[in-house]
Amino acid sequence: MVEQTRGYIASAQERYAEAAGAFERCLALEALPEGAQLNTQYNLAQLYLAMERFDDAIRTLKDWFARAENPAPSAYYLLAAAYMQSGRSDLALEPARKAVENSADPKEPWLQLLLALYLERKDYQRARTLLERLVARFPKKTYWLQLSAVYAELGREKDTLAVMQIAYQKNLLDKDSELRNLARMYLYHEIPYRAARVLEKGLADGIVEPDAKAWELLADAWLSAREYDKAIEPLRRAAKLSDDGKFYLRLGRLFMERQEWKDAAQSIEAALEKKKLDERGKAWVLLGIARFSAGDRAGARRAFEKARTFEDGAAEAERWLAHLDRLERRDRSDGS
């Protein structure tokens, strides 16, 4: 009894090594009643775990289980935790499952441990069931995101989006990457208007970084929603922030579709001023078309002459130059 008391006092004062020694001596005497002996042994196992003496904790708990009647779910959790922390997660699954199954109201850490084991094994069906239980009882952000990821692993794309929608509605998505991910999901599922609204709010709230990719994604959303007017400003912002001329080129094409030829020409000129631009020959062709449509034949010819020096623009440029030549011959003929 003296050693047992010393152990309890030392444990309460967080002197774990001293407490463990006292309990070890107490158990070696075998002088306690069976119930007290088992309680002391269980307390010793807890101390071993706190001291990171995982093998001793496992050995002590296994001996305790062999003698205890109707072990509490918490004991199974303790054994599972000892196995997990000792690097033997393969042996942790059975006691972790028993801790949850044998309890009418399992604690959150017990569910977390079992979930970690399911995810480690890529047992996504069981992980899904457990996560659905977790979000119902503990509706934390991490569980919503994990549930969405598990649905994705299972190929349940609509459920993946639905869960992210719920998390968004609960104001749980507060990171740039999370909002961009949700916007991309909306675009994938052909719900571009919602994608645009998520991004606009994220940018306005200062959550989404206003970089070129964010503005491009917003422009893509508005274009997919056929809200062409609303796509212009995000494309402009993306173009100003990027070293790549592709954004100005896209903006130029958008103006061309709207037959706003001067704005189109200005945007394509800005694209060509950028050092990086794929399809540079095609860009010169587009500039020529925009200038021609705006009534600037001389400027169009200069653009087509430039385009013919690029492989990706040569053929179309030659056709346009031939067309300009025909127009000029006709004009001379009419003038004479």
pLDDT in tens, 24-38: 565 555 655 556 776
Q: Do 336 and 277 belong together in one domain?
A: yes
Residue span of the structural domain in which 232 resides: 173-242
What is the spatial distance between Cα 44 and Cα 182, in angstroms, rounded to a whole number? 49
In single-letter form, the type of residue at position 90 comes to D
pLDDT band, very low/low/confident/very high, at 329 (cuts 50, 70, 90): confident
Q: Do 210 and 271 belong together in one domain?
A: no
Q: Do 314 and 273 belong together in one domain?
A: yes
Residue-wise pLDDT for 224-277, tens only, equals 999 999 999 999 999 999 999 999 999 999 999 999 999 999 999 999 999 999
Q: Do 238 and 265 belong together in one domain?
A: no
Residue 43, pLDDT score: 77
Q: Do 331 and 263 belong together in one domain?
A: yes
Q: What is the CATH number of the domain that holds 330?
A: 1.25.40.10
What is the spatial distance between Cα 316 and Cα 255, in angstroms, rounded to a whole number? 20
Section 177-188 average pLDDT: 97
Residue 34 maps to a domain: yes
Angle at 29 between CA 28 and CA 30, to 5 degrees: 90
Q: Do 177 and 236 belong together in one domain?
A: yes
Position 63 pLDDT exceeds 70: yes
Work out the percent of the chain whose per-residue pLDDT is above 90: 74
Residue 23 maps to a domain: yes
Position 3 pLDDT exceeds 60: no
Residue 108 maps to a domain: no
Residue-wise pLDDT for 77-110, tens only, equals 999 999 999 999 999 999 999 999 999 999 999 9
End-to-end CA distance of the chain: 126
Number of domains present in the structure of the chain: 3
Q: What is the CATH number of the domain that holds 9?
A: 1.25.40
Q: Lowest mean pLDDT: which of 62-71, 114-123, 180-189, 255-264? A: 62-71
Residue 230 maps to a domain: yes
Q: Which contacts qualify for 274-277: CB closer than 8 Å, 24 or more apart?
A: 274/242, 274/243, 274/244, 274/245, 274/248, 275/243, 276/243, 276/244, 276/245, 277/244, 277/245, 277/246, 277/249
**CA 93 to chain centroid:** 28
**Cβ atoms within 10 Å, residue 162:** 15
Single out the residue in 43, 69, 95 at which a domain terminates.
69
Residue 201 maps to a domain: yes
Single out the residue in 48, 69, 90 at which a domain terminates.
69
Residue 110 maps to a domain: no
Residue 50 · residue 29 · CB < 8 Å: no
Cut 0.85: pTM above it = no
Residue 25, pLDDT score: 63
Residue 145 maps to a domain: no
Q: Do 224 and 279 belong together in one domain?
A: no
Position 19 pLDDT exceeds 60: no
Q: Do 237 and 303 belong together in one domain?
A: no
Q: Do 228 and 288 belong together in one domain?
A: no
Residue 5 maps to a domain: yes
Single out the residue in 203, 218, 242 at which a domain terminates.
242
DSSP type of residue 31:
-
